[in-house]
Amino acid sequence: IETTLWSIEWGIAELVNHPEIQKKLRHELDTLLGPGHQITEPDTYKLPYLNAVIKETLRLRMAIPLLVPHMNLHDAKLGGFDIPAESKILVNAWWLANNPAHWKNPEEFRPERFLEEEA
């Protein structure tokens, strides 16, 4: 499964569809690193808007919406539900990342949400 490729493609697609976000990102890169600087991993710690764009891309366009199944060893309670021992549990990560009870306008690509209180 090409999850890294899919995530990069979605990120590029979102930037193409949101030129104002692309412009803000370019401004951050040019201002903090200088025009034409090739980004390295240590640079990413200095780039909050780049990190927000990446997080928002992964939130909105996650490559694998259902996480790997897990099994509980003992009886458990979760969200008011009884879960018997040895139950197979699937986590719907897409719902967690797009639930309107937790995210304002979850269908909107808005990296700023990761720079604000909402995150």
* 30-87 tens-digit pLDDT: 999 999 999 999 999 999 999 999 999 999 999 999 999 999 999 999 889 999 999 9
Q: Cβ(61)–Cβ(8) under 8 Å?
A: no
The answer to whether position 29 is within a domain reads: yes
Residue 118 pLDDT? 57
Token representation of residue 21: 């976000």
The number of folded domains in the chain is 1
Could you list the residue range(s) of the whole structural domain that residue 98 is in? 3-64+93-115
What is the percent of the chain with per-residue pLDDT over 70, rounded to a whole number?
Answer: 97
- Look up residue 92 and give its two tokens: 């719907």
Cβ burial of 32 (10 Å; 0-12, 13-18, 19+) is middle
User: Is residue 80 a part of any domain in this protein?
Assistant: no
Residue at 105 is within a domain = yes
pLDDT computed for residue 48 by the predictor: 97
Q: How far is CA 118 from the centre of its chain?
A: 14
Determine, yes or no, domain membership for 72: no
102 within a domain of the structure (yes/no): yes
The position carrying tokens 């003992």 is 74
Q: Say which residue, 116 or 38, is predicted with more confidence.
A: 38
Confidence of residue 116 (pLDDT cuts 50, 70, 90): confident
pLDDT at 117 over 90: no
Is 119 a residue whose pLDDT tops 70? Answer: no
Task: Flag whether 76 is in a domain.
Answer: no
- CA dist list (Å): 56 to 47, 74, 79: 14, 35, 26
Q: Is residue 50 part of a domain?
A: yes
Residue 31 in domain: yes
